[in-house]
Structure 1
């Protein structure tokens, strides 16, 4: 379709601000709609637009944030809540939680809004504050609302908020009695939330281990590094068993090592050598089993259970 200078300028300005473009309700809006029908533009929410190639380059969290920033400009009275607020705060979470919807707090009722993608969470009193110019619910209220997610997804958000220093467990405990929420789910998350887990992958892995009924591991346990005593080796998860065995598990996300023919082979070899020295040192310090867990292991329940069982991690229920 022939270039429309007004549309192009609108889209580029929006991209620079990391948000969706907003239709003007006039001639430019109709030009935008024609380009949506021609599959040149995406329209993830009524009156919001983005170049298809640009939109497809974004991950699900970035897509949500682009919508939120545009809607915050259109509706400054809105207060974003739940997963939408967690995105604005920058709390780590699984991309799988994103379904194209936007969540706002509402003192008038819950359910969907006028747009199919808009979800409302009822709150008699909305604890509102601004983060980077966007109105969101308070960290405590955001975490309480995120407790409605599956435990393995919500724990990453709780850990991330604690790591950021935005909230303390006591803050959430204080708010709970005045909030209509699933208190059992919130209490379970508060019991296990821990800022020592360094990323969302570790939180997800820990939650999956607990959900399968295995013994709770110790976190970020340190072992001596003979090559650099001031920088001890730290392991993600550690079980010290009554019979003297020590089991260590590391969450490595996607596979660490790629084809050795890649142009960074020297760097890859250095990493491999470091891992060998590290594992040798851990073994010398009594570690009997070192288990590397990858994304694919944690994603599949049966596969994770098999890895834990094979390593000898005790099951307590």
Structure 2
């Protein structure tokens, strides 16, 4: 059987398939054989194109959001909230991706349907942009919308991510100033702490836990020059304590094309040895540390010992 017709995003729409001579039975059969995956009623993607691995949930949500955006009328509402974040490729912390979110631009008429959440809220002209010809809320509006539906940790993660992509912090502050709902409280608290130098969800989440615990705010991505080598730390306190987050892709990110994973581990150990030889304490943690909220108890004794925190 010839392949089903796809659009520019690799999606298969029922109407296009029927117009190309395929039948509903063929679409259903391909779905039953797991050759196709249904994203929303009337839209599929080839099973081989379904993202897997790290960040796959957000990438799958992006496909669902595209399915919604390409199935409505030409003047359809822009994607917003976590769905716009997926299009902007803004990483999030534990987002609720069960529904595709759109904003109507009106003050009333919001609703929740089987796979879509329509938000009734005004939209200024500058708050709607295009990403791959799909209308979405701007990065600033998207970050604020996500943050106001989130806890403090999640809000800081999305604001850090938005700043990394060039978002204007003043614009986000202005947008927040107009939010009256109690849900904006976490976002207002998080925005002043936002920092584009945070390089990952894990680094942002770790800093959120430090802030919650009242720990001193570290310098991010400080560079140390030792023996002619330049080393950069995830977190640094007064060049006395360095904190390193070992995320899932830490070593993959650090590895150059001609290095093995073992080479990177050895290089990182030498780096730590040189930092310690200069009198700098190095503390490491993993995603599990963050999940169990054990970061503050891990750091407090070291900060106190080095005179950086009153225990």
Q: Structure 1 length normalisation: TM-score?
A: 0.79
For residues 132-281 of structure 1, the aligned pairs below 5 Å read 132-147=132-147, 148-165=149-166, 167-181=167-181, 182-228=183-229, 232-240=230-238, 246-254=240-248, 267-281=260-274
5+ residue gaps in structure 1? 259-263
In structure 2, how many angstroms separate the alpha carbons of the residues matched to 1:178 and 1:256?
A: 39
5+ residue gaps in structure 2? none
CA distances 1:77-119 after superposition (whole Å, capped 9, x unpaired): 220001111111121224x425332100022333313xx1101
In structure 2, how many angstroms separate the alpha carbons of the residues matched to 1:19 and 1:68?
A: 13
| Aligned CA distance change for structure 1 residues 84 and 265 (closer, same or farther; 3 Å) | closer
Contact persistence 1:104–1:120 (CA under 8 A): yes
Residue 142 of structure 1 and its aligned partner are, at CA, apart by: 1.1
In structure 2, how many angstroms separate the alpha carbons of the residues matched to 1:278 and 1:39?
A: 48
| Aligned CA distance change for structure 1 residues 286 and 204 (closer, same or farther; 3 Å) | same
1:67 paired with 2:64, answer: yes
Residue 38 of structure 1 and its aligned partner are, at CA, apart by: 5.3
Residue 208 of structure 1 and its aligned partner are, at CA, apart by: 2.5
CA distances 1:36-60 after superposition (whole Å, capped 9, x unpaired): 3555432231212123454364711
Contact persistence 1:214–1:316 (CA under 8 A): no
Bigger mean CA deviation after superposition, 189-198 or 168-177:
168-177
Q: Which residue of 2 aligns with 1:292?
A: 284
Residue 255 of structure 1 and its aligned partner are, at CA, apart by: 7.8
In structure 2, how many angstroms separate the alpha carbons of the residues matched to 1:150 and 1:316?
A: 27
| Aligned CA distance change for structure 1 residues 33 and 271 (closer, same or farther; 3 Å) | closer
Contact persistence 1:213–1:315 (CA under 8 A): no
> SS where residue 63 of structure 1 aligns?
helix
Contact persistence 2:83–2:101 (CA under 8 A): yes
Contact persistence 1:61–1:98 (CA under 8 A): no
In structure 1, how many angstroms separate the alpha carbons of the residues matched to 2:310 and 2:46?
A: 52
CA distances 1:179-231 after superposition (whole Å, capped 9, x unpaired): 45534222212111000112222112211322344332222223222133xxx
Residue 290 of structure 1 and its aligned partner are, at CA, apart by: 0.8
Superposition RMSD in Å: 3.0
Residue 269 of structure 1 and its aligned partner are, at CA, apart by: 4.7
Q: Which residue of 2 aligns with 1:261?
A: none
Residue 257 of structure 1 and its aligned partner are, at CA, apart by: 7.1
Q: Which residue of 1 aligns with 2:95?
A: 97
In structure 2, how many angstroms separate the alpha carbons of the residues matched to 1:92 and 1:84?
A: 11
In structure 2, how many angstroms separate the alpha carbons of the residues matched to 1:266 and 1:142?
A: 38
| Aligned CA distance change for structure 1 residues 105 and 268 (closer, same or farther; 3 Å) | closer
Q: How many residues align?
A: 290
In structure 2, how many angstroms separate the alpha carbons of the residues matched to 1:143 and 1:24?
A: 34
| Aligned CA distance change for structure 1 residues 216 and 49 (closer, same or farther; 3 Å) | same
In structure 2, how many angstroms separate the alpha carbons of the residues matched to 1:205 and 1:65?
A: 26
Q: Which residue of 1 aligns with 2:298?
A: 307
Q: Which residue of 2 aligns with 1:87?
A: 86
In structure 1, how many angstroms separate the alpha carbons of the residues matched to 2:200 and 2:51?
A: 25
